[in-house]
Structure 1
């Protein structure tokens, strides 16, 4: 079973986490199911960038981002070449190392 290694994030998982994932699950769903409350303001419909992550290792195992995801990513804070929307990136058979950026462009968060 593939794993998602989430690097430490001060607000969401200060120690980092290693999560078990099933092929086909999105990075966002795996994190949410394991208590990492990543923002997903559009309810995972690829209409915002609040679930933006940077895939530090294993990105080549993911399907390529489609045009809609690429367009949304252009609006993400801290965009990097290996950025993805976690609600769109489905785990395959390889481990991933993921970093949650420190900021999002979400001006309103229900967690605050």
Structure 2
């Protein structure tokens, strides 16, 4: 199983974290399954950008972003070339390292 390394984030993973997840799992699902409560206001339907992450390593091992995801990413805070919506980024065989941006466009946190 691939490992997701999460770089330190003051709210979601203050010390950083490493988790394992099955191939074919989205990064968002994997984080939530390991009690890293990343925002996902649209319930992982690719309709917001609250689950935006920057893939620091392993970007090429993920599935290709579809047009809908690319359109949504244009609205994300802190967009970078290696940005993905974690609900749409599907794990393959290689490990990935992600950074959760400090801010999102959400004005109020969702209670999922």
Verify: 1:43 aligned to 2:31, yes or no.
no
Aligned counterparts of 2:83 and 2:110: Cα–Cα separation in 1: 24
Q: Residue 5 of structure 1 corresponds to which residue in structure 2? A: 5
Q: Residue 84 of structure 1 corresponds to which residue in structure 2? A: 84
Contact 2:3 2:19 in 1 (8 A): yes
Q: Residue 53 of structure 1 corresponds to which residue in structure 2? A: 53
> How many residue pairs end up in the alignment?
111
- TM-score (ref. length: structure 2): 0.97
Q: Residue 33 of structure 2 corresponds to which residue in structure 1? A: 33
Alignment root-mean-square deviation, CA: 0.7
Runs ≥4 residues deviating over 3 A: none
- Tell me, what secondary structure is at the counterpart of 1:107? coil
Identify unmatched segments of 5+ residues in structure 2.
Answer: none
Aligned counterparts of 1:28 and 1:99: Cα–Cα separation in 2: 12
- TM-score (ref. length: structure 1): 0.97
Identify unmatched segments of 5+ residues in structure 1.
Answer: none
Q: Residue 75 of structure 2 corresponds to which residue in structure 1? A: 75
Contact 2:8 2:15 in 1 (8 A): yes
Aligned counterparts of 1:20 and 1:63: Cα–Cα separation in 2: 18
